[in-house]
A and B are shown apart, each in its own frame.
Chain A
Amino acid sequence: MSDLGRHDGLVEDLASHLDPVRPLPAPGSRAALWLAAAVLLGLALATRYSAAGLAVRMAVPDMALAALGAVLTAVSAAYAAFATSVPGRSAAWALLPLPAAALWIGASGLGCLRDWLVPGAPLADAGEMRGCFGFLVGVSAPLSAILVLMLRRACPLRPNLTAALAGLAAAAAAAALLVPFHPHDTTVSDLVVHAGVVAGVIGLNALAGGRVLAGRPG
């Protein structure tokens, strides 16, 4: 039997504390806003870019594909994160970034394969690896934080899924921003470092971000 008295009390309480709210913009607009923040971060780092190095790297097909995959992953994962943060939107949006992520990971893997097939390619030294690691973590962290803060304004009913998508978006954006700085071609150890950082960023987002999103005060 339904406890009508108890519900009526809560309805009265909520209605008496009603403040006007502005409907949130569509997920696409909100994703565009976050991507703009990521681009701004990229522009802030532009002083350290080497245009010639970037041109050389983009001439290599698999590196260009990997960069394109990272950009598309960041865009689609950000959209999916915002879409899944709105009640009533299908959880299937979470599948949206998968093709782009496959392109990103596949093309990066192809880079490794090429280095493996062509012996004598210079391997990244420990200092360069540390630099990549620091860059990926340093860029992913603020982008994740901004994204999670933006997502908190909505109401993710599957907080862990939304936070994991946010992590994927942030990690992909960081990887895309890393391309112009990358001091060497992709190698196996390089890919392992990237994959580790991406998995770490996604995992941390799902753990911490999920809690942040689930525990949003009323």
Chain B
Amino acid sequence: MTLTLALGAAETRSLVAGTRAALQVATVGRRIDGAGMALEGELAALMAAAQGGDAAAYRALLKACLPVAAAAARAQGLRGEAVDDAVQDTLMTVHRARATYDPARPFLPWLRAIARRRAIDRLRRDGRRPREVHDPLAYEGEVDPGPLPGAGLDARERGAALARAVAALPEGQRQAVEHLGLRELSLDETARLTGRSKGALKVNLHRALKALRASLTRGEDR
């Protein structure tokens, strides 16, 4: 009850959703325990073969290590490119430390220990670099380049206003705007279509734009 009062409705919903997701993960985790054991055995066999110099087994093993290393890096709080850097460090360490793997022991704890340590090393290295202390402020002040909510409505309204203004123009001016301005036809094509001279079309377009500017500016001022 206190929790519901202290948190807003949205937070409560996300908390409930998060709990549900965690329960689902736990259930799935129990279900794939058997598969995990099989994977463990497979990886241990691949590593034993790699220690013997089997390059194909080693390649398969390293590829299987990628998601485990990435997950360990993310679990330590790394994001984006730093995850890839930590994965690379992990692969290098796996290569260097491959003699320390004891085939009689499980492989994944060995791998995870390396991945976790390399992720922590990466965090420490990044932590030592100078950072912008006002980053959170910059983040707060960042303008979302995407359309604002209601931008579609706004555009539709402006389109409708323009259509109304064009429809209200005298016939000659309307034709000039529609063909030359909106459909972007050439003067020759428009002259053929409407049977008007090019000079008349230019004059009509000029007058139409003037009239539209006047009527639309009036509309905005309202």
Contacts and interface: CB of A to CB of B under 8 A. Distances in A.
Interface of A: 2-4, 6-8, 10-12, 14-16, 18-24, 26, 85-89, 153-155, 157-158, 216, 218
Given A16-B55, A218-B92, A7 B97 contact: no
19 contacts: A2-B70, A3-B81, A7-B66, A7-B91, A11-B63, A15-B56, A15-B59, A15-B62, A23-B101, A23-B102, A85-B100, A87-B93, A88-B105, A88-B109, A88-B113, A88-B114, A153-B99, A155-B93, A155-B96
A153 B54 CA distance: 21
- Which among B100, B103, B114 has the greatest number of chain A C-beta atoms within 10 A? B100
Contacts of A2: 66, 70, 83-84, 87
Contacts of B56: 15
Contacts of A20: 51-53
Interface in B59-83: 59, 62-63, 66, 70, 81, 83
B5 to A, nearest CB: 40
Contact of A87 (B63, B66, B91, B113): B113
B215 interface: no
**Majority secondary structure of chain B interface residues (helix, strand, loop or mixed):** helix
Interface of B: 50-56, 58-59, 62-63, 66, 70, 81, 83-84, 87-88, 91-93, 95-103, 105, 109-114, 117
| Consensus secondary structure, chain A interface | loop
Given A7-B87, A11-B59, A87 B96 contact: no
A154 B87 contact: no
A51 B15 CA distance: 74
A180 to B, nearest CB: 37
Nearest to B51: A21
Contacts of A8: 63
Given A2-B83, A87-B114, A14 B91 contact: yes
Contacts of A89: 113
B84 A11 contact: no
A11 B109 contact: no
A22 B50 CA distance: 10
Given A2-B66, A15-B58, A18-B50, A87 B100 contact: yes
